[in-house]
């Protein structure tokens, strides 16, 4: 490892612009002649749009246009799509209702756009929006999943009778029933996985610029995957063919999944830009983010786990209701199915699993992938079940886990996934040592003497990352391949540009990706730049989500680097009059092994471009590209242990210690990896203690600002004690597993297991607010 | 319309604005100082924090007119040429930022915290004082480390002056 190579704690190259206020986010961009969009959104959860009168608005100062959903449909802008086809247990395809970018006839959630005002400034657009009269005929609405599937419930879409999108199953039902028939003990649990709002700190924004002469669009957008946005806008929404549409995702202020999707606002901005003949900018405010950014989680689950007389798990049955909101968002269908139920084996050897997932429409904001996407819901369920089982079977929760850990790899679970490697005992050992698990009873006793209830909670998570092997996901219904692309461009002076289809919105690609180059060539990272986020610069890519950028994106860069190095070695061997096989790369030089003959990398680059003395038949230049498609998912795993105290008088929880022992395979930059874990842990803790996107029975959102939705703040959370154990991922040459989502996947169960341990009651829903904890303590 | 006269990052400016213009709009839209961000519109998240006459204020929740005659410092105005402010350097060195969106407001709040508490800062105080700044990326762990680190650096810098 060099000072800037793989494994080094290199401070980030991108930080200088962010700490000096020179970041360039979408809302920072101004184009000449730019207009501003303000959307008119439904105040009703379910209503018919009977008419829109914009005559007064059109007379307001600075108003350029008022455009409606009807015009959008008339112009044949396509409906929003869901890109993963799921088949119900009866063999029927999932039942999807149409989702136009602005509603021409019916609105189905509060915040759905019906029209847009385009004006000279945002304030003027907002003023005009206030005098647009929308004639709504209110319809009965339903926000609760169980109410939505009852007979007589208000119906959202004619295509989906009973508000049911699909009834999907996985696993072997008869084998699972047989296991339960011979079980010595059965543990049952009902859990709700609370609905969350992703809340990246930068609200979504878009600027669309139509060039009539070239019939060409440019879209600046807050996207985690600009190429996917271009593909979908071209292929499905009829905005423009790909070569006439450039999508730029500049600095993006956090994503967490919510900026994967292509939303109505950027579609409308593109369409409106052509209509008005000027650039159109839309920047959402925080309430619009709560109303329209895809939410996360929202499951209701009943599960049963069967044990034999030796406390070995012999079967697992799960029935989950998943709330999709009013429309099927881009990847929503895959979240509670292939990203959730395929992880229900957890870290455990479970011979028989059967799961059923029922997807439900309600009059709420659409739900899709949010940090972890399905895997937090699976991990939370399994780890709550393990803790419940330990209490019911009267065994130590850590020991019950050890009794059931998978220890042989590869391991084929009954729910599709084949775990490649891991050492679950090692991470649990590390976490137990870090928190002094053995000393807990004495600490609990001391806390009791001080009037506090102390608890400890374990969570052993596993996730499937490195999304994803294209052939495998294709066979499961995915509409796209999930490989990644890279291009290595060596300039004539030897500086290097790496073009990647991954996108950084906080992950630090501009540093970690350079570290691979530094490791291989021995050049300083200042000589390397990372180019991403622009479809005109990078040919194609699938973007950043599912903890994939290092495992998939960086591997693509490695493949392109290998090709470039191979050519460079030939050039060096030719110049040094040596055999190609004898050339080694060290400290920025190509050397003839065992001699003092060497040529510096910039001279090799220059030779490639001057082309005065290249091997016969070799093309000039030094530029290579690669597409990398993984062969399997990767399986990051780890053990989190939380120790906390509950004040029985108030129900307030205070952290004592939180330890995390993760196995991410090889780490490129441990500093950045730790930062990813810290952030994930706080999102998991936020779910456990604070966050909940709430609707009333009529579908009115109750939490639509930071005044109502409890975001974790600095004094709500502790500092963390992190460590790593390592089994290298055999599925990619760098041995990387991915680290972006682990914290959010593993943390919430550790917290709830600790609180329920402290208060001695097992049934406690998230978020475990002081009020809820107090009521649970004092419940009969 | 009104003319607001103020000093921004040491430079006197006079800007004609609609009366309803917020200070953050004046900075971002009229002066192109886009380092100051808007994250919530309700004074909760602190992405918009700037200094007014040396005190941290939320620029999304005051009118530009209220800053008439005041001296405003934004994230763009705290480094001395190429020399970063100790708080900026500490955020970089401690990996106290990821997406960077909350960072300008965090840094401006953190400078104010250190200035008000001097050498008396500990982790609990920093966490309590950061209550009005929300970060979704870092989990605060490294932000708290950065503020404590910077408090030491600012003390040394002050002693040297």
Residue of A24, A200, A714 lying closest to B136 (CB–CB): A200
Range(s) of the domain holding residue B33: 2-74
Can you read off the two tokens belonging to residue A401? Answer: 């886990």
Residue A159 has pLDDT above 70, yes or no: yes
Residue B119 has pLDDT above 80, yes or no: no
Q: Which of B52, B74, B96 is the last residue of a domain?
A: B74
- What are the backbone dihedrals phi and psi of residue A605, each rounded to the nearest 5 degrees, phi first? -60, -45
User: In whole angstroms, what is the distance from residue A606 CA to residue A71 CA?
Assistant: 56
Nearest residue on chain B to A287, alpha-carbon basis:
B40
| DSSP-H helix ranges across A527-616 | 555-576, 601-610
Q: What is the dihedral of CA A320, A225, B91, A641, to 10 degrees?
A: 20
Note whether B25 and B70 are same-domain residues. Answer: yes
Average pLDDT, chain A: 97
Decide if A207 contacts A268 (C-beta within 8 A): no
Note whether B26 and B52 are same-domain residues. Answer: yes
Query: Is B94 inside any structural domain?
Result: yes
Q: Does B19 touch chain A (CB under 8 A)?
A: no
Query: By C-alpha distance, which of A389, A302, A317 is closest to A353?
Result: A317
* Residues A36-76 pLDDT 10s: 999 999 999 999 999 999 999 999 999 999 999 999 999 99
Interchain contact, A506 vs B99, CB within 8 Å: yes
Q: What is the pLDDT of residue A309?
A: 98
* Residues A708-760 pLDDT 10s: 999 999 999 999 999 999 999 999 999 999 999 999 999 999 999 999 999 99
Q: What percent of chain A has pLDDT over 70?
A: 100
Nearest residue on chain A to B140, alpha-carbon basis:
A714
Decide if A660 contacts A720 (C-beta within 8 A): yes
Cα of A702 vs its chain's centroid, Å:
25
Note whether B92 and B136 are same-domain residues. Answer: yes
Instruction: Return the higher-pLDDT residue of A481 and A398.
Output: A398
Residue A553 has pLDDT above 80, yes or no: yes
Interchain contact, A719 vs B123, CB within 8 Å: yes
Q: Does B23 touch chain A (CB under 8 A)?
A: no
Q: What is the pLDDT of residue A1?
A: 53
Note whether B154 and B91 are same-domain residues. Answer: yes
Quick one: pLDDT band at residue A103, thresholds 50, 70, 90?
very high
**Domain of B119: which CATH number?**
1.10.150.120
Q: Which CATH number fits domain A299-468+632-778: 2.30.30.110, 3.30.565.10, 3.30.365.10, 3.40.50.300?
A: 3.30.365.10
The pLDDT of B84-108, averaged and rounded, is 98
User: In whole angstroms, what is the distance from residue A522 CA to residue A602 CA?
Assistant: 12
Q: What is the pLDDT of residue B155?
A: 84
* Residues A672-692 pLDDT 10s: 999 999 999 999 999 999 999
User: In whole angstroms, what is the distance from residue A562 CA to residue B100 CA?
Assistant: 33
Q: Which of B29, B46, B74 is the last residue of a domain?
A: B74
Q: Which of B54, B74, B94 is the last residue of a domain?
A: B74
Helix (H, G, I), strand (E, B) or coil at A627: strand
Q: What percent of chain A has pLDDT over 90?
A: 96
Q: What is the dihedral of CA A305, A311, A314, A317, to 10 degrees?
A: 0
Least Cα separation, residue B146 to chain A (angstroms): 12
Note whether B14 and B36 are same-domain residues. Answer: yes
Where does A15-20+483-628 sit in CATH, by number?
A: 3.30.365.10
Note whether B70 and B125 are same-domain residues. Answer: no
Decide if A398 contacts A385 (C-beta within 8 A): no
Note whether B15 and B70 are same-domain residues. Answer: yes
* Residues A297-323 pLDDT 10s: 999 999 999 999 999 999 999 999 999
- Concatenating the DSSP letter of every residue in A362-378 gives -SS--B---TTTTHHHH
Q: Where in chain A is the domain with CATH 3.90.1170.50?
A: 31-139+202-253+259-292
Please tell me the pTM assigned to this model.
Answer: 0.97
Residue of B34, B103, B142 lying closest to A678 (CB–CB): B142
A128: DSSP letter: H
Interchain contact, A506 vs B98, CB within 8 Å: yes
Cα of A689 vs its chain's centroid, Å:
21
Report the top-level CATH class of A31-139+202-253+259-292. alpha beta
* Residues A450-469 pLDDT 10s: 999 999 999 999 999 988 88
Decide if A332 contacts A295 (C-beta within 8 A): no
Q: What is the side-by-side order of every strand in the sheet holding A721-724?
A: A453-462, A637-646, A653-663, A721-724
Note whether B24 and B68 are same-domain residues. Answer: yes
Q: Strand A353-360 vs strand A313-323: parallel, antiparallel, or unpaired?
A: parallel
Interchain contact, A28 vs B95, CB within 8 Å: no
Query: Is B79 inside any structural domain?
Result: no
* Residues A595-636 pLDDT 10s: 999 999 999 999 999 999 999 999 999 999 999 999 999 999
Note whether B106 and B67 are same-domain residues. Answer: no
Q: What is the pLDDT of residue A547?
A: 84
* Residues A338-382 pLDDT 10s: 999 999 999 999 999 999 999 999 999 999 999 999 999 999 999
Longest dimension (CA), chain A: 88
The number of distinct structural domains making up chain B is 2
**Domain of B14: which CATH number?**
3.10.20.30
Q: What is the ipTM of this complex?
A: 0.98
């Amino acid at each position: 490892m060099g000072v800037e190579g793989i494994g080094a704690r290199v401070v980030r190259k991108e930080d200088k612009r962010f700490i000096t206020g020179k970041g360039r986010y979408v809302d920072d961009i101004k184009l000449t002649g730019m207009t501003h969009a303000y959307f008119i959104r439904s105040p009703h959860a379910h209503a018919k749009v009977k008419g829109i009168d914009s005559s007064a608005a059109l007379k307001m100062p600075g108003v350029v246009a008022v455009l409606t959903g009807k015009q959008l449909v008339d112009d044949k802008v396509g409906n929003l799509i869901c890109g993963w086809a799921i088949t119900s247990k009866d063999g029927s395809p999932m039942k999807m209702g149409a989702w136009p970018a602005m509603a021409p006839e019916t609105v189905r959630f509060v915040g759905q756009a019906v029209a847009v005002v385009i004006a000279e400034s945002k304030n003027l657009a907002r003023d005009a929006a206030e005098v647009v009269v929308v004639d709504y005929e209110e319809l009965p609405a339903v926000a609760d999943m169980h109410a939505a599937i009852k007979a007589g419930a208000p119906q959202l879409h004619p295509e989906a009778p009973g508000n049911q999108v699909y009834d999907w199953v996985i696993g072997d039902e008869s084998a699972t029933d047989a296991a339960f028939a011979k079980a010595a003990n059965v543990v049952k649990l009902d859990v709700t996985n609370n609905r969350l709002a992703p809340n990246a700190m930068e609200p979504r924004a878009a600027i669309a610029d139509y060039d009539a002469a070239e019939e060409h669009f440019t879209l600046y957008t807050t996207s985690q995957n600009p190429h996917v946005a271009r593909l979908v806008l071209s292929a499905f929404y009829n905005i423009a063919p790909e070569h006439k549409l450039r999508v730029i995702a500049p600095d993006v202020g956090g994503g967490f999944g919510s900026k994967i999707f292509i939303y109505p606002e950027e579609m409308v901005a593109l369409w409106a830009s052509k209509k008005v003949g000027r650039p159109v900018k839309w920047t959402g405010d925080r309430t619009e983010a709560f109303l329209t950014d895809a939410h996360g989680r929202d499951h209701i689950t009943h599960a049963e786990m069967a044990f034999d007389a030796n406390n070995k798990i012999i079967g697992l049955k799960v029935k989950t209701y998943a709330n999709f909101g009013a429309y099927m968002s881009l990847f929503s269908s895959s979240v509670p199915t292939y990203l959730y139920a395929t992880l229900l084996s957890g870290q455990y050897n479970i011979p028989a699993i059967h799961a059923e997932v029922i997807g439900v429409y309600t009059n709420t904001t659409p739900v899709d992938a949010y940090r972890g996407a399905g895997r937090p819901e699976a991990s939370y369920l399994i780890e709550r079940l393990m803790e419940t089982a330990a209490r019911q079977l009267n065994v130590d929760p850590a020991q019950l886990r050890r009794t059931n850990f998978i220890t042989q790899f590869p391991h084929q679970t009954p729910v599709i996934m084949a775990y490649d490697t891991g050492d679950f005992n090692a991470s649990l050992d590390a976490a137990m040592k870090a928190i002094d698990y053995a000393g807990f009873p004495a600490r609990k006793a001391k806390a009791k003497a001080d009037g506090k209830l102390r608890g400890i909670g374990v969570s052993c998570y596993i996730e499937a990352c490195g999304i994803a092997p294209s052939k495998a996901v294709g066979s499961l219904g995915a509409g796209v391949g999930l490989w990644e692309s890279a291009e290595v461009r060596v300039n004539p002076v030897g500086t290097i540009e790496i073009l990647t289809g991954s996108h950084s919105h906080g992950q630090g690609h501009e540093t970690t990706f350079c570290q691979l180059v530094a490791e291989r060539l021995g050049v300083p990272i200042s000589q390397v730049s990372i180019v991403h986020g622009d479809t005109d610069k990078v040919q194609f890519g699938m973007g950043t989500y599912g903890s994939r950028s290092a495992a998939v994106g960086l591997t693509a860069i490695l493949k392109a680097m290998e090709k470039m190095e191979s050519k460079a070695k030939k050039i060096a061997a030719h110049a040094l009059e040596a055999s190609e096989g004898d050339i080694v790369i060290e400290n920025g030089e190509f050397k003839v092994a065992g001699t003092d003959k060497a040529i510096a990398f910039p001279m090799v680059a220059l030779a490639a471009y001057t082309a005065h003395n290249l091997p016969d038949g070799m093309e000039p230049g030094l530029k290579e590209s690669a597409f990398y498609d993984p062969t399997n998912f990767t399986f990051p795993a780890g053990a989190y242990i939380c120790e906390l105290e509950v004040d029985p008088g108030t129900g307030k929880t205070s952290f004592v210690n939180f330890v995390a022992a993760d196995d991410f395979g090889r780490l490129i930059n441990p500093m950045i990896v730790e930062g990813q874990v810290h952030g994930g842990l706080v999102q998991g803790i936020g779910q456990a203690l604070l966050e909940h996107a709430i609707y009333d029975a009529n579908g009115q959102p109750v939490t639509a600002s930071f005044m109502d939705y409890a975001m974790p703040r600095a004094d709500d959370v502790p500092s963390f004690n992190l460590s790593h154990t390592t089994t290298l991922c055999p599925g990619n040459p760098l041995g990387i597993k991915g680290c972006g989502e682990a914290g959010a996947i593993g943390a919430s169960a550790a917290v709830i297991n600790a609180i329920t341990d402290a208060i001695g009651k097992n049934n406690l829903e998230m978020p475990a607010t002081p009020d809820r904890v107090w009521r649970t303590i004092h419940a009969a | 319309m009104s003319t607001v006269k103020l000093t921004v990052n040491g430079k006197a400016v006079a800007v004609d604005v609609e009366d309803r213009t917020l200070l953050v709009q004046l900075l971002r839209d009229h002066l192109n100082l886009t380092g100051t961000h808007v994250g919530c519109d309700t004074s909760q998240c602190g992405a918009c924090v700037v200094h007014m006459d040396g005190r941290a204020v939320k620029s999304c929740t005051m009118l530009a007119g209220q800053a008439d005659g005041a001296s405003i410092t934004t994230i763009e105005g705290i480094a001395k040429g190429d020399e970063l402010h100790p708080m900026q350097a500490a955020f970089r060195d401690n990996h106290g930022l990821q997406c960077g969106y909350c960072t300008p407001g965090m840094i401006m709040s953190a400078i104010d915290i250190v200035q008000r508490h001097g050498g008396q800062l500990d982790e609990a105080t920093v966490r309590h004082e950061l209550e009005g700044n929300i970060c979704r990326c870092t989990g605060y762990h490294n932000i708290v480390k950065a503020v404590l680190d910077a408090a030491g650096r600012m003390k040394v810098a002050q002693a040297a002056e």
